Amino acid sequence: MSRSWERQVKRNTKQVNARRKKAGQSEVGSKSPKASEYTTYKGRNFVFPATLVLLGLAYGAMGLMYPASMGSTVLFIVTVVMYLLLGVILYLRRPYLKIGKDAVITTKFNRERLVTAAQIKKIRLQKNYVIIEHSGKGGAWVFARTLNRYDTNAMAAQLRTFAAANQVTLEDKL
């Protein structure tokens, strides 16, 4: 698309959205709900990052104890630093669950995954666990207090209202 055409589309979209806003309708081109429409519950991943840091330290200790067996010193140092850096990065990236009016969102494999209420088969609430079974690709979403430090009690309360509003099967074992 040429730049003049893009400018014309933006200008026309702006005019149409102004008219729709006055009429109380939703804007054209706004496909996803605003972030403020979601309640976010953040966890903290510490098991896998701690494992990576320990592996990096163990690899570094073995290299220091047996310096003749390591090949390249530069490559050895880079490998140890990368293990440590990856552990820190994964620790700082916090997993989350966003609960909206008719959808839930989480990150899987570094991408946001959205599941609508129609795709959810069942929500199971257990002590220290929240499990969302859906009909999409992949397995069920498991949010655990022990593994990822989620506030599962607050999540369970919000998911109860979500399930009631969207007629989703709820299995409550709390």
**Average pLDDT for 119-131:** 94
What pLDDT does 96 receive? 94
How buried is 79 (Cβ within 10 angstroms: 0-12 exposed, 13-18 middle, 19+ buried)?
A: middle
Question: Which of the pair, 29 or 35, is modelled with greater confidence?
Answer: 29
Q: 92-110, pLDDT tens digit by residue?
A: 999 999 999 999 999 887 8
The token duo for 73 is 């010193």
User: Running DSSP on this structure, what letter comes out for residue 112?
Assistant: E
Radius of gyration in angstroms for the set of CA atoms belonging to the chain, rounded to a whole number: 23
The pTM for the full model equals 0.70
**Lowest mean per-residue pLDDT among 30-39, 57-66, 76-85, 157-166:** 30-39
Q: 133-163, pLDDT tens digit by residue?
A: 999 888 899 999 998 999 999 999 999 999 9
What pLDDT does 17 receive? 85
The token duo for 15 is 């005019």
Helix (H, G, I), strand (E, B) or coil at 25: coil
What pLDDT does 35 receive? 57
Q: How far is the C-alpha of 44 from the C-alpha of 15, rounded, in Å? A: 44
Q: Which CATH number fits domain 35-42+100-172: 2.40.160, 2.60.120, 2.30.29, 2.50.20?
A: 2.30.29
